[in-house]
Amino acid sequence: MKSCFILCILLNILFLTGCRNEKSYVVEGNIEGLTSSAIYVVSTFDNKTKIDTLFAKEGKFKFVSSYDSVKPIIIYMEEQTVWITVWVQNGETITIAGNVNHPELIEITGNEINNLLTEFKQYNKEVNKDTLIYRAECFVEEHPASIAALVVIQDYLMENEHPDVLGTYLSSIENPAKQDLLYARLNAVYHRLLQTSIGNLAPDFSVVDVKGDTLTLKTFKDRCLLLAFESFACKSYDNNFPVLKKIDKKYSDKKLAVLSIAFDEDNVDWKEISKKYNILWLQVIDRQGLASPLLTQYNVNVLPDYFLIDNQGKIIAAHDSITKIETILKEHIK
């Protein structure tokens, strides 16, 4: 009777444990090289962000939480200077192992998404950029129904600003990955990139130049516009302003306007720079810096960046260097 009672207790414990695992996920970490024991787990659900703090003991930590569908959580280490993304779902146990000094080699296993991404990183850890892009494209073709393919697109194939390239990648994605939130986000990026692709009408804007005049896209009606996004911080003007000056001098009487917009929060002595290069073209200083909505509006990720807009408001060139713009102008404006 006593042995039967003990057996019942053990069965109940196993049953309850099983139920608990099905309603939660477990992340177990074993990270070498940690100098700080604090581990921060950041998860977002229902548009709310939650931050959990753990403390590793000899590099080991465990995190238990719950979420019905597949979602990413971000684990921060070393005072938030190192982070990794882990895909979790109820009923799964995810293991993390590696050295904090080599976060790109940390292995994350426990479900299809993490396994595929870890395998991809390990296989491509020593290849050059061109090979990496090629293998990333092959990975997406081989795993079109996995969320891992979306992660690879996001992490390895998003440098190209041309929307047709991103559109090609997304067109190969199948369900269930196509139903994931990450697909929706990448698709939103694709449609935003379309707004500044060649042949489309340029987004309108309203800026105030250094003389206090308000400029919009309509200000340049019946003229082509060279739109130059710059930053004093990167010192690019030393190489680019002489070319802009040359272009302005050559085409100003041929219905071309040049507009420089500098995105800098600091009080740079613009008058001194303007005098140094004898700037005669239109100039705007956007004190919102990199937080300016105009950068998002034109999908600008790197400064400097240049656009050429024709006299009908259509984009002729986008995200090109100033030397490439100069070549295009020679063909477009005779």
56 vs 237: which has the higher pLDDT: 56
Using the predicted structure, report yes or no on whether residue 46 has a pLDDT greater than 90.
no
The domain locations on the chain are 22-101, 127-194, 206-332
| pLDDT of 16 higher than 70 | no
C-beta of residue 258 within 8 angstroms of C-beta of residue 282: yes
What six digits make up the tokens of 243?
């070319």
Phi, psi at 144, each rounded to 5°: -65, -20
pLDDT at 8 over 80: no
Write the CATH number of the domain with boundaries 22-101. 2.60.40.10
206-332 is classed CATH 3.30.200.20: no
What are the CB-based long-range contacts (under 8 Å, 24+) for 122-126? none
| β pairing state of 315-320 and 25-32 | unpaired
pLDDT over 80 at 10, yes or no? no
Q: Tens digits of per-residue pLDDT, 158-210? A: 876 678 889 999 999 999 999 999 999 999 989 888 888 899 999 999 999 98
Long-range CB contacts (within 8 A, 24+) of 162-170? 162/193, 162/197, 163/190, 163/191, 163/193, 163/194, 163/197, 164/197, 166/190, 166/193, 169/137, 169/140
Question: In angstroms, rounded to a whole number, what is the distance separating the alpha carbons of residues 102 and 121?
Answer: 12
* Contact status, residue 241 vs residue 280, Cβ threshold 8 Å: no
More confident residue, 14 or 84: 84
Coil, strand, or helix at residue 30?
strand
Q: Where are the alpha helices (DSSP H) in the chain?
A: 2-22, 112-123, 129-142, 147-156, 163-171, 181-194, 237-251, 270-277, 293-297, 322-332
Residue 3: per-residue pLDDT: 44
pLDDT per residue over 201-251, tens digit each? 999 999 999 899 999 999 998 899 999 998 877 777 778 888 998 999 898
